[in-house]
Structures are given as structure tokens and as C-alpha cells.
Amino acid sequence: MCDIIWCKKEINGKKCNTVNYLDPYCFWNWEGKVNCAECKTVYYIHMIQGFMYRGPEEVNEKPDTSPLYADKPLEGYRNYLPGIEGRTRPYQCLPRDIYLGVADMVKFSARGRPVRGWRPQPPSAGIAGSFGFEWDIQKLTPEVWEEYQQKLAKGEVSEW
């Protein structure tokens, strides 16, 4: 869910009618100035916990940021996608470098018990690794069974 600024400013006898979308990640607890993507009118807003506390009020100052996305629903949904210079800001939703790479294979839960969702699954697992409610880890993957027995001997497996 996001908040919007619906610009109703008249330019040359015609209303702007642009809906500027303020994504909650950037505007959750924020106070500053945002421009309209169409007419570049600057609005002051103050948001607290995702709710509009003050504004939008038109000001004659330089904007701090731009909306992520804007469209014109009364004109056939003409839009301004993220990353248009001077109108919208770029959409930078990239994972941090520590999250890039290969996913970890999890064989044991936080309590040290074996889980059923590791990869690669053996052919006996059937379609999508569906074992149902009864599965015998000793028969399916003997190496995980051996590792589990070692964890039990060391006391690394806790009770529920």
C-alpha cells in the first residue's frame, strides 16, 4: 500500500490530474518536498508511520526527491515509469552483495532435527520431493542420517 499525491494544479486552463505514488519504503517516516512527475509542482509533505501528517502543500522550493511512479488515469493511463530523469526516481531494488550467490542447503532445523526440503532430492522423493507425512530419512539419504546420529551423540539436538 502506498500514499499518493493527486496533483490538481491548473496549467494553461487544464488540470494536471497526475497521480504521484509515494512508496512506503522511502516515505514511511519522512518530511520534505516532492515534485509532481507531470507539471513539476513541488509539494511539502510530512509522513509519520506511513500516514500523511501534514500536506500536501504547494511550495515554491526545490524538491528533495521525486515519486517512484506516476500515471494519468483520466487520460488513458499514460504513465511515468521509474527512472525518468527529473520526473521519477530510479527503482533500485537490488540485493546487497552479501545476499548474492548460491543459496545454502539446509539439512537441519534450528534445533538440529533433519528437515525434508534440502536439495538435491533423491529420485525416490517423487514429484517435488513429496514424501507425505511418513518419511524414513535413513533410507532416503544415509549420509544425512549419519550426520544426524553424530549430532545426537554430541548433544547438539535439542527438544521441542
Q: Which residue has the cell 525416490?
A: 124
Tell me if 90 is assigned to some domain: no
Tell me if 86 is assigned to some domain: no
Structural element, H or E, at residue 148:
helix 142-154
Tell me if 93 is assigned to some domain: no
Residues 64, 11 within the same domain: yes
49: left (phi over 0), alpha (psi -120 to 50) or beta: left
* Average pLDDT of the residues of the chain: 81
134: left (phi over 0), alpha (psi -120 to 50) or beta: beta
Residues 76, 108 within the same domain: no
Domain span including residue 61: 3-80
Residues 29, 76 within the same domain: yes
Residues 64, 30 within the same domain: yes
For the chain, percent of residues with pLDDT exceeding 90: 29
**DSSP code of 50?**
T
92 has pLDDT over 80: no
Residues 64, 28 within the same domain: yes
Residues 116, 65 within the same domain: no
Q: b/e string for 88-123 if b means 16 or more Cβ within 10 A?
A: bbeeeeeeeeeeeeeeeeebbeeeeebeeeeeebee
Question: For the whole model, what pTM was predicted?
Answer: 0.56
Tell me if 125 is assigned to some domain: yes
Residues 75, 8 within the same domain: yes
The per-residue pLDDT for 157 is: 85
Q: b/e string for 21-58 if b means 16 or more Cβ within 10 A?
A: bbbeeebeebebbbbbbbeebbbbbebeeeeeeebbee
The per-residue pLDDT for 112 is: 82
The per-residue pLDDT for 55 is: 87
Q: Which residues contact 20 (CB under 8 A, 6 or more apart)?
A: 4, 5, 6, 7, 34, 36, 37, 67, 70
Torsion of CA 128, 121, 118, 108, to 10 degrees: 120
CA 46 to chain centre: 23
Across residues 94-114, what is the average pLDDT?
69
Tell me if 95 is assigned to some domain: no
Report which listed range, 92-96, 99-103, 123-127, 147-151, is most confident. 147-151
Count of structural domains, the chain: 2
95 has pLDDT over 60: no
Residues 76, 106 within the same domain: no
Tell me if 85 is assigned to some domain: no
Residues 11, 62 within the same domain: yes
Residues 62, 7 within the same domain: yes
With H, G, I as helix, E, B as strand and everything else as coil, classify residue 145. helix
The per-residue pLDDT for 51 is: 87
pLDDT in tens, 24-68: 878 888 999 999 999 999 999 999 988 889 989 999 999 999 998
Cβ neighbour number for residue 5 with a 10 Å cutoff: 22
Domain boundary among 14, 47, 80: 80
The per-residue pLDDT for 63 is: 94
The per-residue pLDDT for 118 is: 64
Give the residue among 140, 156, 144 at the shortest CA–CA distance from 105.
144
The per-residue pLDDT for 9 is: 92
